[in-house]
Amino acid sequence: MADFSKYLGKEERVLNSVDMKDESLYTSNNPAAAEWKSWTTLVLTNKRFFSLSKRGLSMREFRLEDVVSTGWVYHPQWGRLVGMFLNLIIAAVLLYFTPALVDSLSSFLVGNYSIDASEIVFYVDIVRYFIYIIAALLILGALYDIFAYFFYKRTTFMMSTKDGKEYRFLLRGRRSQMDEFRMSVQDAKDLYLEETENRYFDKMRSVLFNQSNYEFALNNAASQQKSQLSGDSTQRIGGNNAKTISGSSAKSIDGGKTGQISASEVKQLGGEAGDFMSQVKVVFTELGFDITTLQNGKGADMILSGDGQRYAASVIGKERVVTTTDVLEIAEARDFNRCDFGVLVSEGDVSADVRHFAEQKGIKIIDLNEASGVRK
């Protein structure tokens, strides 16, 4: 594979490339007119397609997020078979009539020219060997045609984009090369979805972990305050003045101890988010998601919408463990509500078997018990 490093962006890597003997690029408005037909290279990365002219005069690119669908049309190679039979027939005819042609040439030379017998043999041999060479080339052409029929493909790669246009690329190459490129296209689409999914879930997990750690620190501080300090020395944040504060901005008292907030006042965090479900909703809202609460969500508590993606989300408190039934329900909710992803946010225990089952079903589990220092 050629070196395309100078064309790559940050965290971009080449998955595959294919050389095209002829490339036709069409638009939906003018499908009969090709913009160019030349030798080009179509390069596939984990973020985009781009095509390069062999002379480096032009470059086109298509971002994977703009690609709506892809398709393939495999053209039959009947012309190869026809060419093979024609070459074999012509070669057979030449070889069959060569003796008669040589005899006729000898008679013509003897009757019309006064030349020696050795010269006649020389001229006849030239004609004979010339015919043999032509026949050999025709046979080689037939062998190439049958080889190309079984090992080469002529393939049209179709791609539709969000702007409503359809692009067609005519690819030519070995069958194995075409199959590898087709699989690479599918892998690139899956990889892009996975990276997009992981980016959002990492963001969710980070914020939820911080919220859980903060809540745990507040409860722990309140417990220590009750046992160590008297009522007069306790700083309280009460009534309508309660607000969310981060661990780094907590007030220090008594020689560096964490700021004290009672357990009852923890419920005022995040806009009166008294229970875990409400707190999770507040966190998702702060992440920029639009939340739709489901009364009968087919296994989901809410639908999250953001950046063109839809998530079927379910929240499980620490009072119970996550089971495979929960995974199945959220998977059904994802499909029923036509969401892109399914996610379970859990304060309860999650076994390794359930995690493995969730991976098989394509469900992400955000387990807050994994947060460092939380409920250990």
Please indicate whether residue 197 or residue 84 has the higher confidence score (pLDDT).
84
At 355, which amino acid appears? R
d(CA 143, CA 156): 25
**Burial level of 100, CB count in 10 A (0-12/13-18/19+)?**
exposed
Stretch 195-215: mean pLDDT: 66
pLDDT for residue 147 = 87
d(CA 343, CA 289): 14
pLDDT tens digits for 343-361?
888 877 788 888 888 888 8
pLDDT tens digits for 140-180?
999 998 988 887 777 888 888 888 887 878 787 777 888 88
CB 62 within 8 A of CB 167: yes
Residue 35 scores a pLDDT above 50: no
- Give me 85's structure tokens: 């039979």
User: What number of CA atoms fall less than 13 Å from residue 82's CA on the CB side?
Assistant: 4
pLDDT tens digits for 101-120?
888 888 887 777 777 778 88
**Burial level of 25, CB count in 10 A (0-12/13-18/19+)?**
middle
Phi first, then psi: what are they for 48, rounded to 5°?
-165, 170
Please indicate whether residue 260 or residue 1 has the higher confidence score (pLDDT).
1
Stretch 290-295: mean pLDDT: 68
pLDDT for residue 60 = 75
pLDDT band at residue 133 using 50, 70 and 90 as cut-offs: very high
Taking each helix axis as running N to C, give the angle between helix 117-151 and helix 78-112, from 0 to 180 degrees, rounded to the nearest 10. Answer: 180
Please indicate whether residue 221 or residue 202 has the higher confidence score (pLDDT).
202
pLDDT for residue 24 = 53
Which 3 state secondary structure label does DSSP give 316?
Answer: strand
Cα–Cα distances (Å) from 233 to 219, 226, 236, in that order, read: 18, 11, 9
Residue 1 scores a pLDDT above 50: yes
- Give me 357's structure tokens: 């089952």
Residue 86 scores a pLDDT above 90: yes
Q: Which domains are seen in the chain, by residue range?
A: 1-197 (2.30.29.30), 198-370 (3.40.1350.10)
Residue 134 scores a pLDDT above 50: yes
Which 3 state secondary structure label does DSSP give 300?
Answer: coil
Stretch 117-133: mean pLDDT: 87
- Give me 108's structure tokens: 């013509």
d(CA 195, CA 198): 5
% pLDDT > 70, the chain: 65
| pTM (two decimals) | 0.44
% pLDDT > 90, the chain: 8
Phi first, then psi: what are they for 20, rounded to 5°?
-110, 125
